[in-house]
Structure 1
């Protein structure tokens, strides 16, 4: 009986030793905020502490970074710059020795008195290993923001009006309605083309640009530009009838 009791005690001790130390959403958020508070001043210590040596990290610039590269990237802001990052909207899930925290980040950066803002979304995977909770994987995405609208000469809008063709049977029309340029493709509702710069327009909430190309002073095509690659719509008529 004593042997059985001893075996049971050892099994219980082993099970307890392997059980992860509990961690809460509040603790994970607090640690993550500590990381962001360290960015502007270039404090690498929290980044060394909370990231696992074998971490896989993918930032909003498309960089795949190991821990060495990630920690090295933490540098103080240049003179005349200041900023802060606030973690909001945390969504948390705990499963055994793994915790997932998915959240938004609101960044404010001041550059010689001029204030700028950006929004990001990050998802971190924390794991309990070697008697500590650390991030083993993280990925950051940047929320798309529309550019500031530019000014356009309303008299010039008529130059863009017409029917454009991508392929046989696939056409779009550009028209002027109440002083605004609109784009209508097939049976879809018309959307406004908002001016950004000379002959460059964007659609609200949509990445990419529409660029009108001129040859000898006349529009001959409309370019759908996405990620610096172009899809060309040829202008087939100055009229909007498809």
Structure 2
């Protein structure tokens, strides 16, 4: 009898483990791609709601200056620097999935609305799928031109 109950416990555990949620990578790819542009626009506009949705609470980023920053710093600085005088454009985005993780790499151009001068950055974002949502846990940016 003890063997039967142990077998049932093991079988139940295996069944629960194998019923874990399947990830729709096509939908995830579209979401991450859309979120990359939304994040750039949120930084430009100081939109903390978008940043809060996309960026995980335990996020750590590396700025263009090489400084580490967290989610709260990102929200605070985007509100302080929000001027909407730039037009951000995200392009050349590649997304690779590794189970419940994804690495997104791409470029963004920030064009001044006043005189059309621009700067281009290249970036890498690490996304994690947890609690049924994709969020950025790490990011690094590099300026391509002065």
Does the pair score TM above 0.5? Answer: yes
Structure 1 counterpart of 2:23: 21
Residues 26/41 of structure 1: CA separation in 2 closer, same or farther (3 Å cut): same
Per the TM alignment, residue 46 of structure 1 is displaced from its structure 2 partner at its CA by 1.3
Structure 2 counterpart of 1:126: 127
Select which of 37, 43, 54 maps to 2:47: 43
1:58-116 CA-to-partner distances (Å, cap 9, x unmatched) read 111222101111111112634xx522211111122101111000001011122xx3232
Name the stretch that deviates more: 126-135 or 95-104. 126-135
Per the TM alignment, residue 6 of structure 1 is displaced from its structure 2 partner at its CA by 8.3
Structure 2 counterpart of 1:100: 103
Deviation beyond 6 Å, 4+ runs, structure 1? 2-6
Select which of 61, 84, 88 maps to 2:87: 84
CA RMSD in angstroms comes to 2.3
Residue correspondence of structure 1 range 124-203 to structure 2 within 5 A = 124-145=125-146
Gaps of 5+ in 2: none
- Please say which structure displays the higher CA radius of gyration: 1
Q: How many residues align?
A: 139
Structure 2 counterpart of 1:157: none
Structure 2 counterpart of 1:216: none
Per the TM alignment, residue 11 of structure 1 is displaced from its structure 2 partner at its CA by 2.6
Provide the C-alpha distance between the structure 2 equivalents of 1:66 and 1:15, rounded to a whole number of angstroms: 35
- Asked if the contact 2:122/2:144 (under 8 Å) is kept, the reply is yes
Select which of 53, 62, 69 maps to 1:58: 62
